[in-house]
């Protein structure tokens, strides 16, 4: 039968390798057109060419549970069970990203915990984009490092239940795995070393930052003073209007009210000392000048109208 596992295949996790895929999904793969036409009589050498033709990853999609090409090739690898060296070459392939994703997915299904951490963790530095087809049939963007992180942390990827693996902390405690070294730690160490080598540059940067901060504070204080000046000018205008009203009232008061007259004379003296009275009189003179100009222009217009009528 074309769907049987090869005789030389070994049991993985105590079962037939093809049984790692659920029966419903496995039967859908056997009935698919891609499996019958493209995956028939494939060997490990010919499988590489088919993997290079992949353009997206994914599990099943649609209401009829149609399998993707990525899932069909995964089941074919479980059926023929290629050697470990071929799978490692799939993972180390930097030119074809979907070949790398296929090899990483197969290794996660069949490999031990040590092999998964050893060969998959270095792929965290791969930030290339992958197209993934979801259950609805739409495509979405996922990065290679995200896909690898899902393989190491999630229980189900591409609609396939992944075998359980030991946690990394347990393997480190048993001295079976070296502590994880992140690439970011190396970058941070380089920055610390460069800072220690160039203390003069650090002092200059701190001085520049302090200078910029002082300039910002001065600009804020200047803006606060301008806003305060506007408030004071508004208060002065309100006080001036109040004074004009009181002064007009004082003019209407009879001559025998000496106390009120004395009060307003005192107010006039205070305003003269601060310059407000002179500004007030200048404002009144300017307003009268404008009124006379307007009245003259009105009279001239009226004369022109009369001359035109006559």
pLDDT by 10-residue block (mean), the chain, 310 residues: 79 89 92 91 88 93 90 93 92 93 94 92 92 93 94 92 90 84 67 59 69 66 54 62 72 52 60 52 60 68 76
Rounded Cα–Cα distance for residues 45 and 218 (Å):
73
User: What does pTM read for this prediction?
Assistant: 0.60
169-173 contacts: CB < 8 A, separation 24 or more? 171/113, 171/114, 171/117
H-helix segments, 64-198: 69-80, 84-92, 97-110, 113-120, 144-153, 168-173, 183-197
Closest to 80 measured CA to CA, from 49, 119, 106? 106
258-274 vs 276-309: helix crossing angle, rounded to 10? 100
Instruction: State how far the Cα of 4 lies from the Cα of 1, in Å rounded to an integer.
Output: 6
- Bridge partner list, 133: 58, 139
Taking the C-alpha atoms of residue 154 and residue 101, their distance in angstroms, rounded to an integer, is 16
Are 14 and 54 within 8 A, CB to CB? no
Q: Distances from the Cα of 109 to the Cαs of 30, 78, 245, 278, in angstroms? A: 19, 9, 94, 95
Cα-based distances in Å from 57 to 73, 154, 246: 11, 17, 87
Residue 197 neighbours by CB distance under 10 Å: 8
Give me 166's structure tokens: 């030991």
> pLDDT value at position 256?
45
pLDDT at 283: 56
Distance CA 307, CA 261 (A): 51
237: its two tokens: 């205008």
């Amino acid at each position: 039968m074309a769907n049987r596992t090869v005789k030389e295949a070994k049991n993985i996790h105590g079962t037939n390798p093809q049984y790692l895929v659920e029966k419903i999904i496995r039967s859908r793969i056997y009935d698919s057109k891609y499996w019958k036409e493209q995956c028939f009589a494939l060997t490990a050498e010919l499988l590489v060419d088919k993997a290079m033709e992949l353009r997206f990853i994914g599990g099943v999609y649609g209401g009829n549970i149609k399998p993707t090409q990525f899932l069909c090739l995964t089941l074919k690898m479980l059926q023929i069970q290629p050697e470990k060296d071929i799978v490692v070459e799939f993972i180390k392939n930097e030119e074809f990203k979907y070949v790398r994703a296929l090899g990483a997915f197969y290794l996660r299904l069949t490999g031990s915990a040590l092999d998964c951490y050893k060969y998959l963790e270095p792929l965290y530095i791969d930030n290339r984009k992958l197209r993934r087809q979801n259950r609805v049939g739409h495509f979405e963007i996922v990065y290679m490092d995200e896909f690898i992180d899902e393989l190491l942390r999630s229980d189900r990827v591409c609609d396939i239940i992944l075998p359980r693996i030991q946690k990394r902390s347990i393997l480190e405690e048993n001295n079976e795995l070296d502590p994880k070294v992140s690439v970011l730690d190396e970058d941070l160490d380089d920055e610390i070393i460069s800072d220690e080598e160039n203390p003069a540059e650090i002092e200059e940067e701190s001085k520049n930052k302090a200078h910029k901060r002082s300039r910002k504070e001065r600009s804020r204080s200047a803006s606060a003073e301008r806003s305060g000046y506007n408030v004071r000018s508004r208060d002065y205008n309100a006080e001036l209007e109040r004074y004009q009203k009181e002064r007009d009232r004082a003019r209407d008061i009879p001559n025998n009210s000496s106390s009120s007259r004395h009060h307003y004379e005192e107010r006039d003296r205070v305003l003269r000392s601060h310059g407000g009275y002179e500004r007030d009189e200048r404002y009144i003179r300017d307003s009268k000048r404008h009124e006379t100009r307007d009245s003259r222009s009105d009279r001239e217009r009226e004369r022109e109208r009369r001359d035109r009528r006559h």
